[in-house]
Amino acid sequence: MRTPATRLLLAFSFAALAIPAHAEAPADPISAETFGCIRDMTPVRGFYVDNLDGNLEATLAVANSPTGGVYPPGSVVQLVPTEVMVKREAGFSPATRDWEFFELDVSAEGSTIRARGFADVVNRFGGNCFACHVKARPEWDMICEQDHGCDPIPLTQVMTRAIQKTDPRCEPTELTTEEIEALQALQAAAGG
Ligand code: HEC
């Protein structure tokens, strides 16, 4: 028999079940559509930055600081089109200093998210983002560049520039002979 109290309890538990399913998706500000042509972001030395909260100046201040700093929430950092770090709000993921890691697939149609998360995201080569980036000295807030203490990646600066220039989400642009050769070397190294 359903007393009013039982009915209330049922309604309440259904509401409790329903909340996560309906509330989480819109509350997450980041989706595949968040990510576009890497070259539409702001270049800093060899990588690109943006800020999802419209706070690009604060992101640039840290990126350009000779002594490092803590990137503000909303910061987006990319070296290659398929790998992204996004700074979430303070306290979101203390273990990763609030960075969320993304591994994307990109094509002329746009981006899709292959993997996203915190300490457990691996790239398509099986490398754990966090395991490498955590080696950056603390003042660099997990940003590696070439000299912040991370293990190196097997890409020369010409290779990264050529990869940035051939992001399929961007308008086509001219490559230099050096960049074309770098892409050919990468293809050969990948076995095709
Ligand atoms: C083998 C270690 C390693 C792995 C694995 C790795 N990275 Fe990196 N990452 C680096 C290094 C080293 C650089 C700097 C390279 C350079 O500037 O030439 C870098 C650069 C970057 C940058 C540009 C800012 C910076 O730190 O210099 C971003 C963003 C980034 N990686 C995200 C990721 C994401 C996301 C993943 C996983 C999907 C990932 N990385 C996996 C080592 C790694």
Residue 162 located in a structural domain: no
Mean pLDDT of 45-49: 97
pLDDT at 15 over 90: no
Mean pLDDT of the chain: 91
> Ligand 1 centroid to 177 CA: how many Å?
26
Strands (E), the chain: 42-44, 47-51, 75-78, 83-87, 99-107, 110-117
CA of 145 to the centre of ligand 1 (A): 8
- Interval 153-170: pLDDT, tens: 999 999 999 999 999 999
178: in domain: no
Going by pLDDT thresholds of 50, 70 and 90, the confidence category of residue 67 is: very high
Domains identified in the chain, total number: 1
- Output the CA 12–ligand 1 centroid distance in Å: 46
Tell me, yes or no, whether 77 lies in a domain: yes
pLDDT over threshold 50, residue 1: no
pLDDT score for 181: 98
- Crossing angle of helices 177-189/157-165, nearest 10°? 100
Q: Is the CB of 38 under 6 A from ligand 1?
A: no
Residue 113 lies in a domain: yes
Domain hosting 71: range is 32-153
How much is the pTM? 0.89
Residue 16 domain flag: no
**Whose CA is closest to atom 7 on ligand 1?**
129
